[in-house]
């Protein structure tokens, strides 16, 4: 279509321009026929197209056109593979084109602050680098097909409890280092068509009307030029949201919000230029419209979903070579999830899958030995639990190995509510332990949207494969992994703790009385565990393989500008091909702020044949070494030594090398409210000030100086000068402040 010009839009009557600021109905924007502007459909993602078939005035959560359900973000996060994320985005873009959808909502890049968050299945990781790299790859793939993406939920939407009202109270350093970087990477590298604001407040201000977030950070700092759309029902004050930078309110509210905007303009309380600006941004989405294609290859996309899902599961434990299964082994399969798979999350992202594989059927078709099955438990609680368990024990006793499929039902975790426990249902825990007591070998396959506790049964079983949620072809992918047709290559994108009480957000989640305090600061997930040297069941980045890998020849070299290059050699020392994730962490104690013991700063996933050695290089820019300085309002690299570490996980470092960086010569601002320590330790005026002070003090004052600073170091200089005015004249303080200001400016 021919793009609508700026003059066409600006010339419209105010009432017609305002139409564009809110949805026509639940899933589409308003058309403006007189200038040839069509309506645009926005549809839920992110792991499949949920194109509602019926009336757009209804939510229609389950009434959608058939589409491929690809692995959700919880699985893609564990792939550590941007190629998987991009291929999923590309396929979703193709299906969206076939279904006549110009904008698919997703991906979600919110951080997994707590393992209890009910929507963790829709997010990638507890680490912002991993989430950002995967999210940007998904957007690139989807938009390569001409279908706009909507990165969400911006920002600090890390729980479902009271999500439409709660204030996430977060300090700026924590926002900048943990909760914003994934969005920043997606916006600056992949340029999504839209950004979706979150429901919650941030430090008391709704995200939908937070000018600092939507304009100062998103547009002025990051250069975002697309449309900001609300989460569905997230707008509290339409005029305030428009002024803050929110362009499109979804869904439509029958014109109520638009009338408020019109009234505000006519009353002189809102500049019409603000309306024009947002109308242009929404109108630009119409350029994504195209005629629907002839459809998509359902079989090819199902095969793709199976291939990609196999790269996402994480082999947590494999004692005595329990996996892969021997082709001629007598295998017992236990657990209703084996034939009735849990493969996606609940809520707005629920996809009407084109078909669904179950692992039981696929295992029966690929193994040469007998495959016996017993459900062991029911998903809805029906049936006699004792009889179901005894049936499972009967098949387990006669098997060489028993594979137990366990997990959480969709009702246990969904959009709209948070979990209250990490435990599997008690009936499944009892089943696993009972089976392990009678089976020669026991393998547990988990299907969950987030991590669960393994403690009640971990030591009783031989192997654990965390499938998370693998999409509609997950059953086939799990069979491929269990039989060794595919080497497990997933790595944990979130820590599995020993106890819920050990998690860093435990005392502050999900908050109270309308507020949730992010009291753990930057110590989120593995950052907390490695810094506190606290034990976990399985650390971030952990994952086993059917082959072995060795890391050698690590070299780190400063390249100037507080950047560095990292190189190393990775060798497959095992007897079969496999994929390995190289994890690069940075550790330092340099600077005036508390830093995590190590932080992920780069990664890549390699395919290696048996005996193959590959040299890998990384470029670490200054952000890899920086912290957010709240006083300076920017990213600062502290001068000093930094250790680059290569890990099999965040807790298993296999090589490290140090590099010294010049860092930033920060000249702090000085005022009379600055502390005595800040004055005396100032890099420019500290030494002259000390000379003035000591010259005016009695003999022996030099020896007293260090002790005095410890005692009164936090006192503001204004009060110190009042008490010791004779020793430090006011005129000298003014002169020194001027010197500090000049040094800071120059």
CA dihedral 457, 458, 462, 463 (to 10 degrees): 120
| 3 state SS of 725 | coil
SS3 letters for 444-470? Answer: EEEECCCCCCCCCCHHHCCEEEECCCC
**Residue 152's closest CA among 193, 117, 102?**
193
Separation CA 405–CA 428 (nearest Å):
9
- 164's CB contacts (< 8 A; 6+ apart) are 199, 200, 233, 234
E strands, 380-486, are 401-407, 442-447, 463-466
Cα–Cα–Cα angle for 281, 286, 287, rounded to 5 degrees: 95
Q: How many residues does the chain have?
A: 746
> Dihedral of CA 519/499/428/459: which sign?
positive
The helix-helix angle for 385-397 and 426-438 (nearest 10°) equals: 30
Please give the C-alpha separations between residue 447 and each of 351, 358, 410, 456, 513, in angstroms, as whole numbers: 17, 12, 10, 17, 34
Integer Cα distance of 538 and 112 in angstroms: 16
Instruction: Return the bridge partners of 560, or none.
Output: 563
Rounded to a whole number, what is the largest CA-CA distance in the chain? Answer: 95
Report yes or no: 130 and 185 within 8 Å, Cβ to Cβ. Answer: no
- Helix, strand, coil shares of the chain, percent, nearest 5, are 35, 20, 45
d(CA 726, CA 372): 92
Two tokens, residue 275: 């309306």
Q: Report the distance separating Cα 82 and Cα 105, nearest Å.
A: 19
As a whole number of Å, the CA-based R_g of the chain is 29
The Cα 389–Cα 397 span in angstroms is: 12
Residue 740 · residue 684 · CB < 8 Å:
yes
Return the ∠ at Cα 652 (arms to 648 and 657), rounded to 5°: 85
d(C-alpha 106, C-alpha 119), whole Å: 13
- The Cα 302–Cα 520 span in angstroms is 42
Here the tokens at position 394 are: 């009967």
Catalytic machinery residues: 231
Strand partners, 297: none
What totals of helices (H) and strands (E) does the chain contain, helices first?
A: 22, 24
């Amino acid at each position: 279509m021919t793009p609508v010009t700026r003059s066409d839009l600006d010339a419209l009557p105010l009432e017609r321009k305002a139409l564009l600021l809110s949805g026509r109905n639940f899933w589409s924007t308003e058309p403006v026929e007189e200038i040839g502007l069509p309506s645009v459909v926005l549809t839920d993602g992110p792991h499949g197209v949920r194109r509602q078939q019926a009336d757009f005035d209804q939510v229609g959560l389950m009434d959608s056109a058939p589409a491929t359900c690809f692995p959700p973000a919880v699985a893609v996060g564990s792939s550590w593979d941007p190629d998987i994320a991009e291929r999923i985005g590309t396929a979703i873009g193709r299906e969206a084109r076939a279904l006549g959808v110009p904008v698919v909502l997703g991906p979600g890049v919110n951080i997994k602050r707590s393992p209890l968050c009910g929507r963790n299945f829709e997010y990638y990781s507890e680490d912002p680098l991993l989430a950002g790299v995967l999210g940007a790859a998904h957007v690139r793939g989807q938009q390569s097909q001409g279908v706009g993406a909507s990165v969400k939920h911006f920002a600090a939407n890390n729980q479902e409890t009271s999500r439409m009202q709660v204030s996430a109270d977060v300090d700026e350093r924590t926002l900048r280092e943990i909760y914003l970087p994934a969005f920043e990477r997606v916006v600056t590298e992949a340029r999504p068509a839209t950004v979706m604001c979150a429901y919650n407040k941030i430090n008391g201000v709704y995200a939908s009307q937070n000018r600092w977030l939507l304009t100062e950070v998103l547009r002025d700092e990051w250069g975002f030029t697309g449309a900001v759309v609300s989460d569905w029902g997230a707008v509290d004050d339409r005029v305030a949201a428009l002024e803050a930078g929110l362009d499109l309110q979804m869904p439509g509210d029958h014109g109520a919000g638009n009338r408020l905007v019109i009234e505000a303009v006519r009353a002189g309380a809102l500049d019409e230029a603000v309306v024009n600006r947002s109308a242009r941004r929404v109108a630009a989405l119409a350029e994504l419209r195209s005629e629907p294609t002839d459809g998509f290859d359902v079989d090819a996309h199902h095969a793709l979903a199976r291939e990609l899902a196999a790269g996402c599961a994480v082999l947590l434990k494999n004692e005595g070579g329990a996996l892969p299964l021997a082709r001629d082994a007598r295998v017992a399969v236990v657990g209703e999830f084996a034939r009735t798979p849990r493969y996606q999350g609940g809520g707005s992202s629920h996809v009407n899958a084109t078909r669904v594989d179950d692992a039981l059927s696929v295992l029966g078709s690929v193994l040469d030995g007998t495959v016996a099955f017993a459900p062991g438990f029911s998903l809805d609680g029906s049936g006699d639990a004792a009889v179901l368990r005894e049936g499972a024990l009967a098949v387990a006793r006669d098997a060489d190995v028993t594979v137990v499929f366990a997990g959480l039902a969709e009702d246990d975790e969904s959009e709209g509510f948070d979990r209250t426990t990490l435990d599997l249902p008690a009936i499944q825990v009892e089943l696993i332990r009972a089976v392990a007591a009678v089976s020669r070998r026991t393998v547990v396959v988990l299907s969950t949207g987030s991590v669960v506790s393994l403690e009640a049964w971990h030591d009783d079983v031989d192997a654990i494969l965390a499938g998370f949620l693998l999409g509609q072809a997950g059953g086939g992918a799990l069979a491929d992994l269990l039989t060794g047709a595919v080497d497990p290559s997933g790595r944990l994108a979130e820590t599995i703790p020993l106890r819920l009480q050990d998690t860093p957000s435990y005392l502050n989640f999900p908050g109270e009385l309308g507020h949730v305090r992010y009291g753990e600061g930057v110590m989120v997930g593995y950052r907390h565990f490695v810094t506190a040297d606290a034990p976990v069941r399985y650390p971030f980045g952990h994952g086993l393989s059917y082959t072995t890998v060795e890391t050698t020849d690590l070299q780190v070299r400063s390249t100037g500008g507080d950047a560095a290059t990292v190189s190393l050699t990775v060798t497959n020392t095992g007897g079969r091909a496999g994929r390995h994730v190289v994890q690069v962490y940075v550790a330092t104690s340099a600077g005036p702020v508390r830093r995590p013991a190590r932080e992920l700063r780069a990664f890549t996933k390699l395919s290696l044949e048996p005996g193959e050695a590959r040299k890998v290089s990384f470029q670490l820019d200054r952000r890899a070494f920086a912290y957010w300085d709240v006083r300076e309002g920017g990213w600062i690299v502290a001068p000093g030594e930094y250790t680059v570490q290569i890990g099999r996980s965040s807790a298993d470092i296999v090589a490290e090398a140090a590099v010294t960086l010049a860092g930033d010569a920060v000249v702090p601002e000085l005022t009379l409210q600055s502390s005595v320590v800040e004055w005396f330790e100032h890099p420019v005026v500290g030494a002259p000030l000390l000379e003035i002070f000591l010259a005016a003090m009695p003999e022996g004052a030099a020896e007293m100086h260090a002790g005095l600073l410890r005692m009164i170091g936090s006192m503001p200089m204004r009060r110190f000068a009042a008490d010791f005015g004779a020793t430090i004249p006011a005129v000298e303080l003014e002169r020194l402040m001027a010197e500090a200001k000049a040094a800071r400016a120059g």
